[in-house]
Chain A
Amino acid sequence: MTPRAETTVARTVAAPRGASWLETIAVHAVFALVVVFFLAPFVWLFTAAFDGRAQAYIRLPEQPTVDIFVRIFTEHDFARALGNSVLVAGATMLLDVVAVSLAGYSLSRLDLRFKSWITYAVLLLQTMPLSATMVPIYGLAQALGLRNSYLGLILIHAAIELPFLIWLMKGFFDGVPRYLEEAAWLDGRSKLRALIEIVLPVARNGIGVVAGLSFLAAWSEVLMMIILIDKQDLKTVPLAFYEVLRTRGGYTEVQYGLIAAMGVLYAVPVMAIFFATRRMMVRGLIATSRGL
């Protein structure tokens, strides 16, 4: 094995020779285009939300105001939508953390001849598009009384991300050495207690990623909310967003400021969570690509 000191030396030596001015300009020009393309829509979103006379195009607000945000809460019952979304996404997160910890660990430690088939099956489920099964899910939810219910949304949202998260978490558990839990068993702990007290703390980064991704996914999911919820009390943030969006194309003036402000309130929480935990999240995502 190469000692650590030598790799550090190799990295400094391997730093590329100085860039030509042509390369410097070309690479920065490409990055500038990328930044303009990816940020332009956000520039609109964050300026229009504070603009009393917002338009569909990017412009600086003449008199920046937070009136629109106040109106969202006073006239559009947004607090309820926000509360519903936090409740559904939070409960989905808890359910996923429990189910994924158990399943990921079990799949990692399972000792069966057909284990790789189970792993493949999980991967296959992960690729199944929700839009293909939405019709049966609608019928099922209707039959089980899961339409217009928190429980229905929570169970379905937890299920949607399950294959991907199990796949991800199995990878984390594969990296936890078995002698840790075997020592705990010898101390007389049950398998469940060994998992909770010994293995999970070691794999806590994985748990963090599972919690974060399941919350973000449930927060952003729309299709199931459209087909499962039609009661005002239960409306979530995306459904509230749809309500103001419907002003578009009618005879009334499009309220771009209102739409943008609601968009800001919908997008900012997930952006904040993701960027606060981005190193961990990105490492977790990369871990899923490590193959079978």
Chain B
Amino acid sequence: MVVARNSAYLIGLTPAALLLSLFFVGPALWAAYSSLTNLALVGIDAANPRFIGLDNYARLFSDPDFWQVIRNSVTFVVGSAVIGQFGLGLGLALLIDHAERRRWWFATVAYAAVLLAWVNPTLIAGFLWVAMYDFFFGSLNHVFLSALGLPPVDWLGSFPMPAVIVANVWRGTAFTMIIFLGALKTIPPDIYEAARIDGAGTWRRFWDHTIPSLRPIVALTLLSITMSTFGTFIVIQALTNGGPGIATEVIALYAFDSAFKSFSIGYGSAIAAVMLALNLVFAVVYLRWSRARA
């Protein structure tokens, strides 16, 4: 009965389900399995991988580099997603919404500028900041700092992590801004009017009406940008490739290097499995949080 009622819909889900099993679920399961083997990209272990239990994980967790990579990833995610993209995106949404109510056209220019950086392909974003940060001839040193009479700064050498964070904030802020601007537009203006007649000041209205109406989408937006930032690869590869040393080596770069440079697929899969597990934990926490608030 249930099947008969839904049979057409179940068939409709099939093409998508096939693609998702092949390229999402399958690879995730395969990563979990091969992390328990010594599979390699080349050499004798490529043909005949052996089952080695949790050895890859033991090696991973006793590797001081790995813990540095985790610290880097957390710094990068907190700095560029939570503080940068979310903070700046929310702030800009509030400011632009306010300016639009005042009919200040400059708000539209700022909105378009932020959007442009986001629409632009990621690889270009990475390279544009390579040029901006260049020590001898980059715009930051050669144009902006020299105009202020300041000495040049070795951005990627002395401040690698802030530098990659700024580049990624530049690239990704628009998403949060768009979502929150959309939410702000759904607040009926009569709520503000009623509050004003009641004698509530600007800040009171902001805390009592604006913030609560944004709350339901906070968790979902944070989930979305945290996850995509956690997997960031291209921007950092273009800017520092993890360096200097391993100062900006985040988990995605570490997994890539282990698999495709050191050729140890098993070890790379263990890193991937850790990524997926962390991801799942994040997602569950955010979803529970959003349901608790809803």
Contacts and interface: CB of A to CB of B under 8 A. Distances in A.
A131 B249 CA distance: 14
* Interface size range of chain B in the complex: 35 or more
B20 A163 contact: yes
A175 interface: no
A174 to B, nearest CB: 14
A286 B178 contact: yes
Contacts of A41: 117, 125, 128-129, 131-132, 139, 170
B139 A40 contact: yes
A191 B110 CA distance: 46
A191 B4 CA distance: 13
B99 A238 contact: no
Interface in A249-292: 256, 259, 263, 266-267, 270-271, 274-275, 278, 282-283, 285-286, 289-291
Contacts of B43: none
B9 A100 contact: no
A277 to B, nearest CB: 11
A106 B223 CA distance: 25
Contacts of A99: 15-16, 19
A259 B128 CA distance: 10
Most buried by A among B92, B98, B123, B196: B123
A102 B179 contact: no
Contact of A106 (B10, B26, B129, B265): B10
10 contacts: A14-B192, A28-B104, A45-B124, A57-B139, A106-B13, A136-B28, A138-B259, A140-B22, A192-B8, A271-B120
Interface of A: 2, 7, 10-11, 13-16, 19, 24, 27-28, 30-32, 34-35, 37-42, 44-45, 48, 55-58, 98-100, 102-103, 105-107, 109-112, 120, 123-140, 155-156, 158-160, 162-163, 166, 191-192, 216, 219-220, 222-223, 227, 238, 241-242, 245, 248, 256, 259, 263, 266-267, 270-271, 274-275, 278, 282-283, 285-286, 289-291
Interface of B: 2, 5-6, 8-13, 15-17, 19-20, 22-28, 30-31, 34, 92, 95, 98-99, 101-102, 104, 106-107, 109-110, 112-117, 119-125, 127-132, 134, 136-139, 141-143, 170, 175, 178-179, 182-183, 188-190, 192-193, 196, 216-217, 220-221, 223-224, 227-228, 230-234, 238, 251-252, 255-256, 259-260, 265, 268-269, 272, 275-276, 279-280, 282-283, 287, 290, 294
